[in-house]
Amino acid sequence: MQKESKLNAENRQKTSGRGSNKVPIGSADFLAPESLEKALDYRKRYGFEATVIAGGTDIMVDYFERLYEVNSWLDLNKIEELKKIEINDEEIIIGATATHKRIAEHPDLQKYLPMLAHASSEVGAWQIQSRGTIGGNIVTSSPAGDTLAPLLAYDAKVVLQSKGGNRILDMSDFFIGPKENVEESDELLTKIIIPKPSENILSRWKKVGKRKALIISSLTMAILIEIDNDGVIENARACYGAVAPTPIEVKNVGDYLKNQKLKEVDAKKVGEIAVAGISPIDDIRGTEQYRRQVTHDLTVNAIKEMAEEI
Ligand SMILES: Cc1cc2nc3c(=O)[nH]c(=O)nc-3n(C[C@H](O)[C@H](O)[C@H](O)COP(=O)(O)OP(=O)(O)OC[C@H]3O[C@@H](n4cnc5c(N)ncnc54)[C@H](O)[C@@H]3O)c2cc1C
């Protein structure tokens, strides 16, 4: 790869990777383009050889002991276009490098996407929220990522952009396993597109962790219910994180709820359907049994609370 000769000097700085034979101190390329077009040029040329960095709150932890392995960084922070949050009559479009702090504090997102704003307000603590981005949360693709269940519940789509064009995917098609996704080496995640929710939406987001702050979730839940003027459920999506290899929607919950009067729903039955749709494992943040019980209880409570709200 002929990096040296082709790169735009203005967009290059040097970073101090730890000493190693592979990439000597100070020799990793630091690419910090100011335009998306330039970033996509770099992405095409370097592929996964250049490590993309947004807020750095995941990637710097991953590489903490092995910064020397990074040959090149592709920093997205100077690209204003990727930070935008736009709302029109039909859609809410969130740029991939919008930080959790901006999302949590954005009045329109609090209004239209309260589960997402709430989830962002509970990522780590304020230092992490100030740096960490929604795109980083998605591309890390941890089943426990806090914004992922809300985004699934809101039926979000992700835009993967490359020099060759755009791919727009349902969030559920983006994740393929724990920390694995379908992003190609020449692509960047540029936007998240969410259909603007109607007025008649009820929702509940819950995060369960071993302590209040700075904790990876043991489980997350995002339930969204759309009702008509008579309180009949037109649409429902129940989504969970950290209960399967990827964040998931339990579609059977939505199917069961559809066309029922919310006030007459058997909440316990909904909890049972939710539990039947997950496949949790034992790990340091909770046992399989614990996750099944919590999924059940959170779901039952959410349905009851929403029924009382109307
Ligand atoms: C102390 C601490 C507490 C935390 N607490 C939580 C928590 O409570 N909940 C939670 O969900 N997470 C938590 N995290 C994880 C992290 O903060 C979030 O996942 C955050 O959203 C990551 O965003 P970032 O911009 O920092 O990602 P980065 O670290 O910059 O990038 C993450 C990954 O995504 C890739 N990437 C980033 N942006 C793009 C893009 N636009 N296109 C393509 N690839 C891209 C990077 O190459 C990297 O692989 C915590 C982290 C720390 C260190």
Residue 251 pLDDT: 98
Q: Helices (H) and strands (E) in the chain — how many of each?
A: 13, 15
* Fold of the 201-309 domain: Enolase-like; domain 1 (3.30.390)
Residue 209 pLDDT: 80
**Ligand 1 pocket residue status of 135, Cβ below 6 Å:** yes
**Ligand 1 pocket residue status of 141, Cβ below 6 Å:** no
* Fold of the 3-75 domain: 3.30.43
Question: Which of 159, 136, 158, 153 minimizes the C-alpha distance to 54?
Answer: 136
Average pLDDT over residues 110-124: 96
Q: What confidence tens digit (pLDDT) does each residue in 249-307 have?
A: 999 999 999 999 999 999 999 999 999 999 987 777 778 999 999 999 999 999 999 99
Closest residue CA from atom 32 of ligand 1? 136
Say how far apart CA 146 and CA 133 lie, in whole Å.
Answer: 12
Question: Which of 133, 188, 139 minimizes the C-alpha distance to 160?
Answer: 188
Say how far apart CA 13 and CA 24 lie, in whole Å.
Answer: 15
Give me the amino acid identity at 308: E
The residue extents of the domains of the chain are: 3-75, 81-195, 201-309
Rounded to the nearest angstrom, the distance between the alpha carbon of 133 and the centre of ligand 1 is 6
Tokens representing 124?
């780590």
241 has pLDDT over 90: yes
What is the dihedral sign for C-alpha 171, 177, 179, 185? negative
pLDDT bucket at 217, cuts 50 / 70 / 90:
confident
**Ligand 1 pocket residue status of 55, Cβ below 6 Å:** yes
Which CATH number is 81-195's, of 3.30.465.10, 3.40.50.150, 3.20.20.100, 3.10.20.30? 3.30.465.10
Sheet harboring 248-249: ordered strands across?
201-208, 219-227, 233-241, 248-249
- CB distance 193 to 168 below 8 Å: yes
β-sheet bridge partners, residue 239: 222, 249
Residue 282 pLDDT: 78
**Ligand 1 pocket residue status of 161, Cβ below 6 Å:** no
Say how far apart CA 103 and CA 135 lie, in whole Å.
Answer: 12
- At 194 the three-state DSSP class reads strand
**Ligand 1 pocket residue status of 136, Cβ below 6 Å:** yes
Give me the amino acid identity at 279: S
Mutating to test ligand 1, I would choose from 57, 161, 285 the residue with most ligand atoms within 8 A of its C-beta, which is 57
Q: What confidence tens digit (pLDDT) does each residue in 142-189 have?
A: 999 999 999 999 999 999 999 999 999 999 999 999 999 999 999 999
- CB distance 121 to 100 below 8 Å: yes
Rounded to the nearest angstrom, the distance between the alpha carbon of 68 and the centre of ligand 1 is 20
Ligand 1: which atom is nearest the Cα of residue 145?
11
Mutating to test ligand 1, I would choose from 123, 161, 188 the residue with most ligand atoms within 8 A of its C-beta, which is 123
Q: Has this prediction a pTM greater than 0.85?
A: yes
Say how far apart CA 47 and CA 54 lie, in whole Å.
Answer: 16
β-sheet bridge partners, residue 279: none
Question: Which of 146, 184, 191 minimizes the C-alpha distance to 164?
Answer: 184
Closest residue CA from atom 28 of ligand 1? 56
6 has pLDDT over 80: no
Ligand 1: which atom is nearest the Cα of residue 139?
34
Ligand 1: which atom is nearest the Cα of residue 131?
26
Closest residue CA from atom 27 of ligand 1? 136
Residue 162 pLDDT: 98
Average pLDDT over residues 110-137: 96
3-state helix, strand, coil in the chain (%, to 5): 40, 25, 35
18 has pLDDT over 70: no
**Ligand 1 pocket residue status of 149, Cβ below 6 Å:** no
- CB distance 188 to 136 below 8 Å: no
Ligand 1: which atom is nearest the Cα of residue 62?
29
> How does strand 72-75 pair with strand 50-53?
parallel
